[in-house]
């Protein structure tokens, strides 16, 4: 039986070396390893992995091609459903999606679908395979707001259908969270992000950077003056949350968004770039999600001793197990069941410590996780120079507040139905702008769904 072979391990950079560089942690499979791992797939008739994939990549099919060594064909299979395989192979939470439902995983370890996808994505980029195939131009124009995962996925599908697609990006580089949020050591920018955005451009999609929708130009102007037939809003969830505790505006307190934007988008870790960053010698990261792990591991690479402060226990950490494991390997200290109550400053207004209180887990709350409650009289102080707040983000109101008829829910998220339709005719939305902060792949799924719905809307309206 093919599944008797154990899962092929993936090579990684040694933790003691990688904790002081920004090179990628995981090396990925080579051709030989990928072909061997691919033989573990059972090619299920009704593949559960495909059903568990938000963009429904034909997983058994591409893996079959990998097993045969037909890497270009494998890339073609994936390209039918995803324009970002090298990205998704790296940052998708496979353990709770495709690999989580893999039948091989019932008795053994699941097929390493993510690592295989990454291998195929990298192969396509390294060999500059041109997988673009589009229908003839249909004469309709669609504007996409935001060049993150949702926007890129929506743009890809619409371009394939023959639409003239333009993406508007507020920052100076396309990619959204792939560029400003996820660190280089998890997602290389030149080799992976840039290459996959190039693939989207090859489909005829244009990207205009430096355009802040709602400020530089409004949705109404795009529809009325610039002649777009529909709009997709994939503007993400970019507003950082703070705790509203004393001392939060001291020098040295930053949002994870600021810290990561300085290092990732502005490349502050590279001294030849102008944007500064400050880590001091000790850093406290507040929060336990993937972004918190990214911030902690980045701060460690910049030379700081890093402590993650999280109010629940290890089992409840929202970050992927793999990320927590990598962080631990790199020497990140976890101060669990603790919550900051105050940030303490020195006489010059710089952070010198964080006052915390110990927590214990009580009854489960609405999220199903046990609610942390304070242990009376258990305050303690952690010495630090920098505090990075990584408490989640919410959508930016710039677009909704300047677009009449585009309604929000109580969490400031754009209201959209399961097809991506908003309350404003001709305007569709998806990704974090609708759901609040989630994953790259869910945003891509929403972008694809909206693309179908935009196609249906335009064809119905103009037929």
Chain residues in the site for another protein (CB under 8 A): 170-172, 180, 209-212, 215-217, 238-240, 242, 244, 248-249, 251-252, 254-255, 257-258, 261-262, 266-267, 270, 272-278, 348-349, 396, 398
Separation CA 323–CA 333 (nearest Å): 14
Minimum Å gap between C-beta 398 and another protein is 7
Separation CA 125–CA 64 (nearest Å): 20
Minimum Å gap between C-beta 210 and another protein is 4
Q: Which is nearer to another protein, 36 or 239 (CB)?
A: 239
Separation CA 47–CA 60 (nearest Å): 7
Q: Which is nearer to another protein, 23 or 225 (CB)?
A: 225
Separation CA 315–CA 441 (nearest Å): 23
**Pick from 266, 170, 165: nearest CA to 212:** 170
Minimum Å gap between C-beta 278 and another protein is 6
Q: Which is nearer to another protein, 145 or 203 (CB)?
A: 145
Q: Exposed, middle or buried by CB within 10 Å (0-12, 13-18, 19+), for 329? A: middle
- What is the enclosing helix (H) or strand (E) of 360? strand 351-364
Minimum Å gap between C-beta 194 and another protein is 13
The count of other CB atoms within 10 Å of the CB of residue 422 is 26
Minimum Å gap between C-beta 388 and another protein is 11
Helices (H) and strands (E) in the chain, counts: 17, 16
Would you list the DSSP string of 234-273? -----EEP----TTTTSBTEEEHHHHHHHHTTS-TTSTTS
Q: Which is nearer to another protein, 120 or 413 (CB)?
A: 413
Q: Which is nearer to another protein, 38 or 211 (CB)?
A: 211
The count of other CB atoms within 10 Å of the CB of residue 190 is 8
Minimum Å gap between C-beta 281 and another protein is 14
Q: Which is nearer to another protein, 248 or 374 (CB)?
A: 248
Q: Which two tokens stand for residue 342?
A: 């105050």
Q: Which is nearer to another protein, 156 or 235 (CB)?
A: 235
Minimum Å gap between C-beta 255 and another protein is 4
């Amino acid at each position: 039986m093919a599944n008797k072979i154990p899962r092929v391990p993936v090579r990684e950079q040694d933790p003691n070396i990688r904790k002081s560089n920004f090179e990628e942690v995981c090396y990925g499979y080579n051709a030989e390893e990928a072909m061997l791992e691919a033989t573990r797939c059972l090619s299920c008739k009704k593949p559960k992995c495909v059903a568990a994939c938000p963009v429904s990549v034909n997983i058994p099919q591409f893996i079959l091609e990998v097993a045969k060594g037909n890497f270009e064909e494998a890339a073609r299979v994936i390209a039918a459903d995803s324009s970002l395989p090298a990205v998704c192979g790296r940052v998708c939470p496979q353990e709770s999606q495709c690999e989580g439902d893999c039948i091989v995983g019932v008795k053994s370890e699941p097929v390493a679908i993510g690592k295989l996808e990454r291998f195929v994505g990298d192969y396509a980029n390294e060999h500059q395979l041109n997988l673009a195939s589009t229908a003839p131009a249909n004469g309709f124009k669609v504007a996409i707001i935001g060049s993150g995962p949702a926007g890129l996925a929506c743009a890809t599908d619409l371009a394939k259908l023959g639409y003239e697609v333009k993406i508007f990006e507020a920052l100076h580089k396309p990619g959204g969270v792939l560029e400003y949020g996820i660190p280089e050591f998890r997602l290389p920018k030149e080799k992976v992000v840039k290459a996959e955005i190039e693939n989207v451009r090859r489909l005829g999609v244009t990207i205009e950077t430096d355009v802040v929708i709602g400020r530089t130009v409004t949705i109404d102007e795009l529809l009325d003056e610039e002649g777009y037939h529909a709009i997709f809003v994939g503007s993400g969830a970019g507003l950082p949350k703070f705790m509203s505790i004393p001392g939060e505006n001291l020098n040295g307190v930053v949002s994870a968004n600021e810290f990561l934007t300085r290092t990732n988008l502005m490349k502050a870790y590279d001294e030849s770039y102008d944007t500064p960053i400050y880590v001091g010698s000790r850093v406290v990261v507040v929060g336990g999600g993937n972004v918190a792990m990214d911030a902690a591991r980045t701060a460690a690479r910049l030379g700081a001793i890093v402590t993650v402060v999280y109010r629940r226990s290890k089992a409840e950490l929202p970050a992927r197990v793999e990320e927590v494991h990598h962080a631990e390997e790199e020497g990140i200290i976890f101060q669990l069941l603790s919550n900051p109550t105050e940030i303490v400053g020195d006489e010059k207004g710089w952070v010198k410590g964080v006052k915390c209180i110990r927590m214990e887990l009580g009854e489960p709350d609405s999220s199903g996780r046990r609610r942390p409650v304070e242990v009376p009289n258990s305050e303690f102080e952690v010495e630090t120079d920098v505090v990075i707040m990584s408490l989640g983000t919410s959508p930016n109101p710039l677009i909704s507040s300047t677009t009449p008829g585009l309604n929000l829910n109580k969490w400031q998220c754009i209201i959209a139905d399961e097809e991506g339709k908003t309350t404003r005719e001709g305007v569709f939305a998806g990704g974090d702008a609708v759901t609040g902060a989630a994953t790259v792949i869910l945003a891509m799924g929403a972008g694809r769904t909206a693309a179908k719905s935009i196609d249906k809307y335009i064809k119905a309206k103009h037929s």
